[in-house]
Structures are given as structure tokens and as C-alpha cells.
Amino acid sequence: DGGITQSPKYLFRKEGQNVTLSCEQNLNHDAMYWYRQDPGQGLRLIYYSQIVNDFQKGDIAEGYSVSREKKESFPLTVTSAQKNPTAFYLCASSTRGLGGSYNSPLHFGNGTRLTVT
């Protein structure tokens, strides 16, 4: 079955360490996204990529970095510069980016819960 795989489901890190969250999709989707979810708030866009080797900052990109070397993979690195990294991180994909047709539902992974102490 096609889908999006995020790993690991739970991640614990010490403050000051960089950590990379994995996101892999086998849906042959062009666009991929990283969102952050905090209690009581809507999802917020960190980074997105509409095509391989290209990505754009979202609303809260500071302290994060991404790469898109393969269509299937869009890893997110949470760096030590991120002031409040503890959160639930969701990866998503769609057949086209938001800049294309709106008629493109989002597919989400099951998320990674990151705790930094």
C-alpha cells in the first residue's frame, strides 16, 4: 500500500543536539511538507518542497533545515538553534504543490513526537 512513513514515532534528545526526522513516501508525489503541531494550535508549516532539489521556507523555518535529494525522501533536521523544539512533527505530501491546482489532497504520515530536555 502506498503511503508516508515517518520514523521514529518517539524521539528524545538532549538540548544542544541536532536531530533528523525521517519522512519517506511511495506515492510518487511531487510535493512534500513538514508541519509542526503544538497543543491548542493549528498546524504550522516549517518547510515545503514542490520538486526534487528545491525547497522553500514556511512560516516557522528558523532553527530547521531540510533536503530533497530524492523524490521519495524529505528529511527534517531540528538544529540546536531551534529555541523550543519539543513538539509533534507531521510530514505530508501531495501530487502537486499548493502553487498548482488546489485539487490535490494532502496525505499525512503518523508523525514523530520529539522531546528535547
Partner 1 sequence: KNEVEQSPQNLTAQEGEFITINCSYSVGISALHWLQQHPGGGIVSLFMLSSGKKKHGRLVATINIQEKHSSLHITASHPRDSAVYICAVLVSSGSARQLTFGSGTQLTVLP
Using CB under 8 A as the criterion, which residues of the chain lie in contact with partner 1 when the complex forms?
40-45, 88, 90, 92, 98-99, 102-103, 105-111, 113
**Closer to partner 1 by Cβ: residue 63 or 111:** 111
**Closer to partner 1 by Cβ: residue 79 or 98:** 98
Cell numbers representing residue 112 in the block: 514523530
**Closer to partner 1 by Cβ: residue 70 or 110:** 110
Chain position carrying cell 506515492:
27
In whole angstroms, how close is the CB of 98 to partner 1 at the nearest point? 4
In whole angstroms, how close is the CB of 21 to partner 1 at the nearest point? 13
Say if CB 65 and CB 79 are below 8 A apart: yes
Contacts of 15 (CB under 8 A, 6+ apart): 80, 116, 117
CA dihedral 46, 8, 94, 47 (to 10 degrees): 10
In whole angstroms, how close is the CB of 53 to partner 1 at the nearest point? 20
